[in-house]
Amino acid sequence: MKHVLPLLVLGMLLWAAAALAGPVPVLLPLFGPQAGELEQLDLTGEQKSRIEQIVQAGRESSKPLLQQLRQIAKDTHQQVNAVLTAEQRTRLESQRSDLLVEAP
């Protein structure tokens, strides 16, 4: 239940950033090639090792940004809740619960 709003906010932030920046060829994957993509390239051991290091460095350097996005999502959630009535907050939480249950 607590994870739905941050994901929605993250999605909105990514959409807004993409809309402001213009067309973006690829938003995802965020951290390099996905599993299976590199297997078809017949990479050498050295290439695999270097790519692994690059992807790991990308993950590490993105941690502060992800923490910032989580805080923005939390702040947004709190600000929205402050505007809603108690009944509206309850209904919103119920809708979020329904989303989590319906997800595969």
Q: Is 7 exposed, middle or buried (0-12, 13-18, 19+ CB in 10 A)?
A: exposed
0.85 cut: is pTM over it? no
Q: Do residues 35 and 8 touch, judged by C-beta distance below 8 A?
A: no
Q: What is the predicted pLDDT for the residue at 12?
A: 59
d(CA 69, CA 20): 18
Each domain of the chain, given as residue ranges in start order, spans 1-9+65-104
Task: Per residue of the chain (104 residues), give pLDDT as tens.
Answer: 455 556 556 665 565 555 544 444 444 455 667 667 788 888 899 998 998 898 889 888 888 998 999 899 999 989 999 999 999 999 988 887 776 655 45
